[in-house]
Amino acid sequence: MKIKKALISVSDKTGITELAKALKKFNIEIISTGGTKKVLEEAGIEVTDISYVTGNPEAFGGRMKTISFNIESALLFDREKDAEEAAKLGIKPIDLVVCNLYPFEKVMKEGANFETLIENIDIGGPTMIRAAAKNFKYVNVLTDISDYEQFIKEVEQGVGTTSYNYRKELMAKAFNHTADYDAIIAQVMDAQIDKLSFRLNFKEGKALRYGENSHQKAHFFRMKEAENTYHNMNILNGKELSFNNILDISGAVNSVKDLSGVACAVVKHSNPCGLAQGKNQRQVLETAWQGDPISAFGSIIAFNTTLKLETVEFFELTNEDKSKRKFIEVIIASKIEKEALEYLQNHKNLRVIEYDISKLPEYKDLRFINGTLLSQDIDNKLYEKLECVTETEFDTEKNKAIVEFGLNAIKNIKSNAIAIVREKNGTYHLTGMGAGQPNRLISTELALEKTRDFIRQDFKGEEKDFDNFYENEIKDAILISDAFFPFSDNVEFAAEKGITKIVQPGGSIRDKSVIKTCNALGVSMIFTGLRHFKH
């Protein structure tokens, strides 16, 4: 069926004259209202006033324009079953609705008062859109300016008609448009009566191979209007991403996004098992890898700077001795040099991703739990203070940068979390971490065990001399805790293993006892005043 009559009533007039001119080429009559009619007529486009169809004038300052028996009937009647009845009633079909709604969200974001918000609630627009969408078998509905160009192509290709499948796509988009519109209004109006509600729209869902485990189905969605999401990652090589890959990518990106200079994170099961920050990218990667070379097998690696060939050659992907090739699942950077990409493509399954880490958006941290939703702000603050609370002094000015590096690491490690960091040859690095333990002392033990393994990799002397080497290397390391120490056991164990500097938030009822232990052992301690739990 050819499109013979179109109803155009839009708040945003962008592109509307071009669309109307294209419709006129197919002798389509255009019905319009108020401001839209004025814009079209000023462009020399012949328009039928809406009142000619409704039989009534626009009224009440524009609140009543399109809502009428004639308009809704012209959109809703079944062109086959109801044709005879429509003819008796004098109803002539409208085959196309072009409508975008009053800018409620725009004026809301601009801080409009309540009265202005109310006036920007569209009534007639959603009614037309829903009527046209319901009757999509015969009626086209356009709600998105970005669809105008493709619609014109469809009409031209169909010589004045569109396909059923295309109208079906427009129908789905129309119902999403009105649903989003009503959701925003409902949320704002709930706030007016001090009632919290939360509505989000996710789209472009795609199936993943499976979830965390092979028996779990999984999907991946993008939040409407969100920009630079993980859904927009540019995959340059390798297999499709899995559910676990995406979680680990988030952990890796979050670990490097706030670090200055050149940074690299090696992530396994969402935790950075290796993290380094310095000036030379290859050196930073090697140092991060050294954090836990065994766990780095099958890891996700993120960089905050352009990835270079010299750096990726570290993975030895072309080594004839396959045992020396380093296996990783994903490598991600804001930009990847052509030569580096070509080298990485030697591993056909390795996912190589370009993603602009610098533009990572910050939304609420949401957790959906069995029909309930938790919402919180992103953890984007490192500390409230850097206060030395012990007799043994801690030079906060000298150590500020390495402490900030350590706090960035700890807020990306699952609680209970302990991280041990140090600076060597101009590079800050994570030497060991303990994550996800119900007992903080076990996390401390794990972090120090990994630190000993890290330092052993630098040892070139006789085994009997290692303890002296370790003692010298550990003396400048700093232990960072994500939360306060409830007992002195962590301090005692850490001091026994050579730790002399500790950073923790403080706030325990036993702080005085912990500080007393530090003083007795010659350990300096900093309170930050800010906890970094990550569950």
Structure tokens at 506: 């403080």
Average pLDDT for residues 275-302, to the nearest whole number? 94
- Please tell me the class of the 382-527 domain: alpha beta
pLDDT band at 361 (very low <50, low <70, confident <90, very high): confident
* Model confidence at 531: pLDDT above 80: yes
Instruction: Output the average pLDDT for the chain.
Output: 93
Asked about 535 being catalytic, the answer comes back as no
Residue 1: the pLDDT is: 77
Residue 384: the pLDDT is: 95
Q: Where are the domains of the chain?
A: 5-192, 231-359, 382-527
pLDDT band at 63 (very low <50, low <70, confident <90, very high): confident
Half-sphere exposure of 115 (CA within 13 A, CB side): 0
- List, in order, residues 6 or more apart from 69 with CB less than 8 Å away: none
Residue 34: the pLDDT is: 84
- The pLDDT tens digits for 29-52 are 999 988 899 999 999 999 999 988
State the Cα angle at 265 between 333 and 407, rounded to 5°: 125
Residue (of 42, 20, 22) closest to 31 by Cα position: 20
Please give the Cα distance from 95 to 23 (Å, whole number): 12
Residue 55: the pLDDT is: 85
- The pLDDT tens digits for 330-341 are 999 999 999 999
Please give the Cα distance from 9 to 288 (Å, whole number): 59
Average pLDDT for residues 261-272, to the nearest whole number? 94
**Would you say 291 and 266 are in contact if contact means Cβ atoms under 8 Å apart?**
yes
Domains 5-192 and 231-359 share a fold: no
Residue (of 166, 158, 171, 165) closest to 1 by Cα position: 158
The alpha-carbon radius of gyration of the chain (Å, integer) is 31
Choose the catalytic residue: 5, 269, 335, 424. 269
- The pLDDT tens digits for 149-207 are 999 999 999 999 999 999 999 999 999 999 999 999 999 999 999 998 888 888 888 99
Comparison of pLDDT for 225 and 443, the residue scoring more? 443
Average pLDDT for residues 455-461, to the nearest whole number? 89
Name the helix (H) or strand (E) containing 130.
Answer: helix 124-134
The alpha carbon of residue 524 and the mean position of all alpha carbons in its chain are separated, in whole angstroms, by 39
**Would you say 23 and 102 are in contact if contact means Cβ atoms under 8 Å apart?**
no
**pTM metric for this prediction:** 0.84
CATH number for the domain running over 5-192: 3.40.50.1380
Please give the Cα distance from 46 to 20 (Å, whole number): 9
* Model confidence at 412: pLDDT above 90: yes
Tell me the percentage of the chain whose pLDDT exceeds 90. Answer: 83
Half-sphere exposure of 420 (CA within 13 A, CB side): 31
Choose the catalytic residue: 5, 134, 203, 326. 134
Structure tokens at 300: 């996700």
Residue 202: the pLDDT is: 87
* Model confidence at 345: pLDDT above 90: yes
Structure tokens at 432: 């060991």
Residue 203: the pLDDT is: 86
- The pLDDT tens digits for 488-522 are 999 999 999 999 999 999 999 999 999 999 999 99
Give me the architecture of the 231-359 domain, per CATH: 3-Layer(aba) Sandwich (3.40)
Give 479's strand partners.
420, 502
Asked about 269 being catalytic, the answer comes back as yes
Token match 């550990």: residue?
474
